[in-house]
Amino acid sequence: MPICNKCICKVSGGTLERVKINSEAQQIAQNRPEVIQKQKIAQKIAMERDPSLIIRRGKGRPKRKTQKTIAYHKKQTLLHRQRILTDPEYARKFDPKGFVSGTINGIQFQSSLELSFLLYCISENILVKRCKLAIHYKNIKGENLIYRPDFQIGDLIVEIKGWIKEDVTNKIIYAKRYCKKNFLKYSILYSQDLKKIGAIEINKNLLMKQNLIFVKNQATLRWLKKFNIDFMKVKFMT
């Protein structure tokens, strides 16, 4: 049976005010920078000794430990990657990073840059389609992965990138080698390249005339708000 503060004070000979002061002092002592640093070091050592323990961190202090192991998370990640590669519908609907994504006239886009590029192709009457090639490559860790380029215009394979990343250099090398072997051309268009040809601007009137379906997420809603597009006039995937 729980004991109230008044009963504790009677037994200990203290007062409610004294209990309150002690509680505040204890809270201050526990939240000192050196104490928090020691706790972090102790948690790190515990994780190194037993990697299966994962501490879920929220705002403030660490929350309770979960029963999920690192092996479980790796397994789920692998299953997710395999499903993305084998199930186009899952890949089309899944949006892990919260980018602007969806379809325009049946062609999938996975970023606002890709949407801008597709709009440019539509305005210039360029026949573009989603690339269906699957290029096997090894990343910087030596893992065997599959790279699927963004778009194809005739014999030209087009990859849209916001910026260059270290982990995509291997992917580009394998893609160029594959295209050369199969008599194809390969081109990477960065945001500055799209800006030079005027493909980064959004023609709102042209956009609203297309068969456009968005994946509903925070990134998409912010993008629509940026261009003053009414949410009620836009289709979202269900």
Tell me how far apart the alpha carbons of residues 51 and 168 are, in angstroms, rounded to a whole number. 29
Highest mean pLDDT among 13-17, 149-153, 195-199, 208-212: 149-153
Q: Using CA of residue 223, residue 237, residue 80, residue 170, what is the dihedral sign?
A: negative
pLDDT the model gives residue 145: 86
Which amino acid is present at 178? Y
154: burial class by Cβ within 10 Å (0-12, 13-18, 19+)?
A: exposed
The closest of 130, 125, 139, 136 to 157, measured between CA atoms, is 130
pLDDT the model gives residue 115: 92
pTM of the model: 0.58
pLDDT digit string (tens) for 150-179? 999 999 999 998 776 655 678 888 999 999
* 135 vs 77, higher pLDDT: 135
Tell me how far apart the alpha carbons of residues 78 and 97 are, in angstroms, rounded to a whole number. 17
* 1 vs 157, higher pLDDT: 157
Task: Tell me the domains of the chain and their CATH numbers.
Answer: 5-66 (no CATH), 88-236 (3.40.1350)
Q: How confident is the model at residue 39 (pLDDT cuts 50, 70, 90)?
A: confident
Chain-centroid distance, C-alpha 94: 10
Of 77-81, 140-144, 168-172, the one with minimum mean pLDDT is: 77-81
Which amino acid is present at 190? Y
Which amino acid is present at 131? C
Q: How confident is the model at residue 201 (pLDDT cuts 50, 70, 90)?
A: confident
Tell me how far apart the alpha carbons of residues 13 and 100 are, in angstroms, rounded to a whole number. 64
Q: How confident is the model at residue 209 (pLDDT cuts 50, 70, 90)?
A: confident
Quote the mean pLDDT of the chain. Answer: 77
Phi and psi, residue 87, nearest 5°:
-120, 95
DSSP H or E stretch at residue 176: helix 169-181
* 233 vs 52, higher pLDDT: 233
